[in-house]
Amino acid sequence: MGAQTAYTSENPCISAKSLICGTLVTTDLARVRHMLEKGFGLECVRAGPDLLVARDRQHRSGENKAGEPFWVLEIRQKDTVPVAQEMLNHWGMAAPNQAAVDEAYKNVNERKQEFGIVRVQKPRFRHGSYACYFVDVDSNWWELEYRAPEITYEALRAKGDLHKD
Amino acid sequence: MSHEPLVKNETLSHGTIECSDLVVTRRFLTEFLGMKIHRPVPEAQYIHKGGPWSVVCVCVEGGEAKEQIPDNRFKISVGSKEEVRQAHDEALRLREQYGIRQVNDLVESDVMVSFQLQDLNRTWWEITTADERYYGQLFERGDIA
């Protein structure tokens, strides 16, 4: 019998197909769209009067990632942000290398007002990854993270590391 | 016109939630929600279910995960409207067993069925028929007028 590579259930109550979406709140859809498109390079579309959806670029027909699974962020506009978010409720993005994290730190610092970013944390190593955090005016936390190939999320899943309880 | 973004972001990679007890939380995530879990580090376990995306579940040492609202939630796609209805029934039936704090009513429309629940750590989840195809159509359609 092979080693266990993930904690799973043989017969879960819900037959989930996929984790598909995360949701967050803004007080200004136009501002957050500017940040996501021009700042973070995501594709955005206005799906309702108070709703923006975002995903990685290149998933449209004929583009590089067409047909590959994608994750969606739904951003809902409200008059206020009812519950301020904190570091442990952040949204993560992958950087291609360490230099890209340093460059993003510099670029965002220089133009943070334009993008509605109120705080930029200096890059640092944490748990083997190199990352910096941005906090936007709606209190949403964004992480840009470089992980060495052996500790990417996919690599860790493939290794099946199961730390003992 | 193409543009160079401020941040060289290769992909959206993860979201993050808090929990008070990794083992008890894992039981809910695997047995109830049907997620797959890895625990590569002592203080956190990674949740995934297909695709390249993970939710990192961080244990709040000696504390409680903070209260969230339904506007800050994660959506799980299932295969049919009937599966959403069954999941709703199961959430009500097993509420006590898994420490589920709230189960909201089913919301049904022509295009989808869904409901939201708040788990033992005050995190909100939505079980929905909305899937990649649904979202793909939103992106193809473009901005509403």
pLDDT single digits (tens) A74-122? 999 999 999 999 999 999 999 999 999 999 999 999 999 999 999 999 9
Fold of A19-78: 3.30.720
B12·A16 Cβ contact <8 A:
no
pLDDT in tens, B53-66: 999 999 997 788 99
- Residue range B74-98: average pLDDT? 97
What are the chain B neighbours of A23 within 8 Å (beta carbons)? 71-75, 126
- H or E element at residue B17: strand B11-19
Going by pLDDT thresholds of 50, 70 and 90, the confidence category of residue A165 is: confident
- According to CATH, what is the number of the domain B14-141? 3.10.180.10
pLDDT at A2 (0 to 100): 52
Is residue A87 within 8 Å of residue A141, measured between CB atoms?
yes
Going by pLDDT thresholds of 50, 70 and 90, the confidence category of residue A6 is: confident
Going by pLDDT thresholds of 50, 70 and 90, the confidence category of residue A3 is: low
Locate the chain A residue with the closest alpha carbon to B94.
Answer: A13
Q: Where are the beta strands (DSSP E) in B60-138?
A: 73-78, 102-103, 107-108, 113-118, 124-128
What is the nearest CA distance from A36 to chain B, expressed in angstroms?
9
B139·A60 Cβ contact <8 A:
yes
Question: Where are the CATH 3.30.720 domain residues in chain A?
Answer: 19-78
pTM beyond cutoff 0.90: yes
Going by pLDDT thresholds of 50, 70 and 90, the confidence category of residue B1 is: very low
Sorted by where each begins, the domain ranges of chain B are 14-141
d(CA A101, CA A1): 42
B30·A7 Cβ contact <8 A:
yes
- Residue B145: CB partners within 8 Å, gap ≥ 6? none
Q: Which CATH architecture has domain A86-165?
A: Roll (3.10)
- H or E element at residue A130: strand A129-136
Proportion of chain A above pLDDT 70, given as a percent: 97
What are the chain A neighbours of B79 within 8 Å (beta carbons)? 15, 17
What are the chain A neighbours of B37 within 8 Å (beta carbons)? 6-8
